[in-house]
Amino acid sequence: VTQYITGEANDATFEYVSKTAPGSRMVFSYVHRGIIDGSFKDAQKWKSIGEQKSTPWIFGIDPAELVQYLSARGFALVDHVGGSDYQERYLNPRGRHIPPFEAERIALAVVTG
């Protein structure tokens, strides 16, 4: 969901959650920053899908910088999956199939307090 709100709003959310008890967990989705800045393959195609649905993507994180991003906000990364991993781990066992989209990722982070 982070892709739908500004960087400042994301910072405020992470700050709020970081004040909870150490060990508290937060799951969130995000899109690769390359979708936002146009450097990801087919970025405009993917970005336009959100715009057509009136839910434009305005914020992204580079997966290579996720650990640093979280650490600066009081979190540690626990797990991190992309579309194909998510499909294999969580959807296939339930008989569901959604075409993988590697630019959107899901992360599990823990408050380090």
Q: Which residues of 74-104 are buried (b: 16+ CB within 10 A; e: fewer)?
A: bbeeeebebbeebbeeeeeeeeeeeeebebb
- Predicted pLDDT of residue 79: 97
CA 1 vs. chain centroid, Å, equals 7
pLDDT band at residue 8 using 50, 70 and 90 as cut-offs? very high
Domain boundaries, the chain: 2-111
- Predicted pLDDT of residue 19: 97
The CATH number of the structural domain formed by 2-111 is 3.40.50.150
Half-sphere exposure of 87 (CA within 13 A, CB side): 10
What does the alpha-carbon distance between residue 44 and residue 48 come to, in Å, rounded to a whole number? 6
Indicate the pTM of the whole model: 0.87
Please count the other Cβ atoms lying within 10 Å of the Cβ belonging to residue 61.
22
Note the pLDDT tens digit of each residue in 18-57: 999 999 999 999 999 999 998 888 888 877 777 777 788 9
